Structure 1
Amino acid sequence: MKLIGIGDAVVDIYQDQHRMYPGGSVVNVAVMARRCGAEHTAWLGLVGDDAAGQHLQACLVEEGVDISRHRVVRGSTGAAYVTLDAQGDRCFTGTNHATRVQSLVALTLNQDDLTYLRQFDVVHSCVSLNTSLERELSKLHGQTLSFDFSSPEYWTSDDLERICPLLGFAFFSGSDLSQAEIRTLVRRVHDLGVEVVGVTRAEAPAYFSYRGTVVEQPVYPATVVDTMGAGDSFIAAFLTHYLTEQAGLAPALAFAARYAAEVCGYHGAFGYGKQLD
C-alpha cells in the first residue's frame, strides 16, 4: 500500500519541556503508516526555512518518508504550543497562525504534482486553516481520497457537502457527540458518497461504518504518557491494514486500536523531541 499525506506540517512545542517535536496531522499519518508496514509513504506540503522546518524535514527523511515534492518557503514553520495534563492528555494553548508560512502561502498542485500523486493508492488530507488546500483536492479525479475532518468545531455542513463527494474515507473526532448524533452524521456522510466513515471517541469505542454496516472498536489498555498523535495513529494503522490486508473493518480496527495504544506511551506524535535554543 502506498499513501501520501497532503497538508500542514508543524512542530509541537511542549512548553514544560522546552522541546519541539515534529508533527501535523497528515505528517503523522504518513510516518505512522510507514511504521505500520506501508510499502511507500510520502508527504507534500509547506515548511519554513527555519530550524523547526529543518528538524521536521530531517525526521521525515530518517523515517523513510518521501518528501521530494514538498515546498520550503522563507519564513516560520507552523507551531502548536502544547501542555500535558495529569492524565497525559495533550492540550493546545496556542499557535503562530498569523506568521506561519502555511497561513501566508497557498499550496497549489501543479501538473507534475498530479502526475506524481497517481502512484499512490490513497491520498490523505485533513481540515486545514488554509482552505485553499481543500479546493486543490478536487483536482485528484479518480484517486482514492481520505480526509480527517477532526472535531465538529472544525467543519460545517457546507464543508461536508463540498468535500465528502470526493472521498472514499472520512474520519471524524466525536468524543463530544452523542450516539444518536454520530449515527446521523455517519448516515449523512454515506449519503454524500463516502464508502467508509469512521468516528473516533477518545476512551469510548470507535464507531466505523462500511456502507452502513457498523463495527465498534473498544480502546486497548495503555500506559498513557502523551495522547499526542493518538487519533492520527489510529487512522494510519487502519488505512494501512484495511488497504493492505483487505480483510474488512474489524481486523483493521483491532490493529489500529492496538497501535494507537502504543503511541500513547511516549512523548510527541512520533518522537524526535529537540531542545529549543
Structure 2
Amino acid sequence: MMRLIAVGDNVVDFYDDLGEMFPGGNAVNVAVFWKRYGVDEVSYIGIVGNDEEGDHIVNSLKLENLNVSRVRRAIGPSGEALVTLDDLGDRKFVGSNKGGVQQQLKLNLTDEELEYIQTFSLLHTSVFSHLEKELPLLQKYIDISFDFSTKYDDDYLKQVCPYVKYAIFSGGDLTKEECNALITKVHKAGTPNVVVTRGSEGSLFSDSLQVYDQGIVETDVVDTLGAGDTFVAIFLKEYVAHGNAQVAMEKGSAAAAETCQRFGAFGHGKKRESKIVIGH
C-alpha cells in the first residue's frame, strides 16, 4: 500500500477573465494528483485562512479524498494568486498576497505528527512552504522531495539540498546546457535526484549516474497551469514505486497533458468577485 504526504503551501488561483477561483499551490497540487492517479492514502498538512477561500481549498481536498485532519485554520487571509491572460492567450501570474496568513505563522510539527509523517514513503514540500529550517529534522523521519520553482541561487541550494532526496526545478527559461549545469550543481550540494521541468521542451531527470530526457505529450491545451506539478507528482509516485526513471517520466508527461485540458490545476472552479491582490 502506497502512502504519500504533502506539507506546506496552498492558494486559490483567481482567474480574472473567468471570475473564478481554483484551489492550488504546489504542495496541494502534488497531493491531489497523487490521489487521482492511484496512491492509496494521501495526507496534506498546511495552514489555511478562515475565509471563503480557505473553505473552498479544504472542501475541494475533501472531495478529492485527501486526509486533511491536520490542516490548521488560522485567522487571516488564505493564500491567493491573481492569474490573467497575456497577448498570446497564455496564463500568467500577475500578483499575489504572498501566501496570506501562511507567511506570518510557522508550521510547528508536534512529536506525534513527526511519528505520523514517518509512516509515509515520501514527503513533498516546496520553496513556497517556509519549511527550510524544519528540513534537517524532517529528514530524520522521511525522504523529502522539494520543489524549488525558479530559485537557483547558491546560498539557497546549500541550505536545502543536503536534506532532500529529490530536488525539482522549473527550467522553462533555461537552455539545456544551463539545465545540465544546474543539475551538476545540485548534486554537488548534496541531493541525489534532480528533476527539471522545461515547459514545452519536456523534462530532465538525473539520478546522479545518468540524465534522462523526456518530451511532452501533444494535446489540445486549454490551460497549462498545474501541468508541471502534475508531471512531478506522477513521476515521484512511479519512481518511488519501481525506480524505472524512463517509465516514470513517460507516465508523468501523459498526466501533465491531461491536466492541460481543463481550467485550474485540478478543477473545482468557483465564481467569486474580483479582489485586488497586491504584491508580485
Please report the TM-score for the alignment, with normalisation by the length of structure 1: 0.94
Unaligned runs of 5+ in 2: 274-280
Q: What residue is the counterpart of 1:185 in the other structure? A: 182
Q: What residue is the counterpart of 1:119 in the other structure? A: 119
Q: CA deviation at 1:84?
A: 2.9
Q: What residue is the counterpart of 1:260 in the other structure? A: 256
Aligned length: 271
- 1:136 corresponds, among 127, 134, 137, to 134
Distance 1:36 1:87 in 2: 31
Distance 2:56 2:141 in 1: 34
Moved over 6 A (4+): none
Q: Deviation digits for residues 66-101 of structure 1, max 9, x if unmatched?
A: 111110001110100001346553200111238x21
Distance 1:226 1:126 in 2: 22
Identity %: 41
Q: What residue is the counterpart of 2:193 in the other structure? A: 196
Report if the CA contact (8 A) 2:114-2:141 is conserved.
no
Q: What residue is the counterpart of 2:73 in the other structure? A: 72
Query: Which shows bigger deviation, 173-182 or 220-229?
Result: 173-182
Q: What residue is the counterpart of 1:149 in the other structure? A: 148
Which letter does structure 1 place at the counterpart of 2:25?
G
Unaligned runs of 5+ in 1: none
Distance 1:205 1:103 in 2: 32
Q: What residue is the counterpart of 2:90 in the other structure? A: 89
Q: Is 1:165 the counterpart of 2:165 in the alignment?
A: no
Distance 1:33 1:109 in 2: 23
Q: What residue is the counterpart of 1:106 in the other structure? A: 106
Distance 2:173 2:142 in 1: 32
Distance 2:201 2:96 in 1: 28
Distance 1:155 1:113 in 2: 30
Give the secondary structure class of the aligned counterpart of 2:251. helix
Q: Deviation digits for residues 221-266 of structure 1, max 9, x if unmatched?
A: 011100110110000010111122x141000000000000000000
Q: Deviation digits for residues 23-62 of structure 1, max 9, x if unmatched?
A: 1110000000111111111111100010100011001011
Q: CA deviation at 1:184?
A: 1.5
Which letter does structure 2 place at the counterpart of 1:229?
G
Q: Is 1:41 the counterpart of 2:42 in the alignment?
A: yes
Q: Deviation digits for residues 149-182 of structure 1, max 9, x if unmatched?
A: 111xx34211111111111111111111122221
Please report the TM-score for the alignment, with normalisation by the length of structure 2: 0.93
